[in-house]
Amino acid sequence: MTQPHSSLIYILNGPNLNLLGNREPDIYGTVTLEDIEKSATLHAGKSGFGVDFRQSNHEGALVDWIQEAGEKAAGLIINAGALTHTSVALRDALAPLGIPVVEVHLSNIFARESFRHLSHISPAATGIISGFGANSYILGLDAITATVS
């Protein structure tokens, strides 16, 4: 177990996730990103961790935040949305971080279209959690706190 250099966990969300709960409820349900932020903050607090929860439609902003997490956070959870499948820049930002990185997805990406089966991010992540809806984030927090506590 490494000593965490912070008690803060970054949770970053990529393009279109700000609309969660408003679109395609038969796939994603009615839970909004704000609901997930609240649950995650509450759950992390039980283990003594704070949460910095952000969303952006811009790849560049996500790269900025990942670099920032490398200096300030004990761990990182990322749901990169569609950028999961197209961004090598996110991968290169994640690879040298030195803190636990968990890639999460709401739905099981392997049960969807084939172009969503490839993740550029997975090789740079500590682990992947995919398919449990909002609970994917909660399991991701447990995976990180088990590692850094």
- Percentage helix, strand, coil, to 5, in the chain? 45, 15, 35
**Binds a copy of itself by CB under 8 A, chosen from 2, 24, 34, 45:** 24
Q: Copy the structure tokens of residue 9.
A: 């966990």
Which two tokens mark 49? Answer: 């961790």
Assess contact for 130 and 104: CB atoms under 8 A: yes
For a copy of itself, which stretch binds (CB under 8 A), given 4-12, 37-45, 54-62?
54-62
Among positions 40, 76, 83, 148, the unique one binding a copy of itself when judged by CB under 8 A: 83
* Residue 142 CA neighbour count, 13 Å, CB half: 7
Angstrom CA distances, 59 to 12, 28, 39, stand at 11, 22, 25
Q: Does residue 30 touch a copy of itself according to CB under 8 A?
A: no
Q: Which stretch binds a copy of itself (CB under 8 A): 1-9, 31-39, 41-49, 89-97?
A: 89-97
**Number of residues in contact with a copy of itself under rule CB under 8 A:** 54
Structural contact between residues 33 and 18, judged by C-beta atoms closer than 8 angstroms: yes
- Positions in the binding site for a copy of itself (CB under 8 A): 14-16, 18-19, 23-24, 56-61, 63-64, 67, 81-83, 85-89, 91-93, 95-96, 108, 110-111, 115-116, 119, 122-132, 135-136, 138-139, 142-143, 146-147
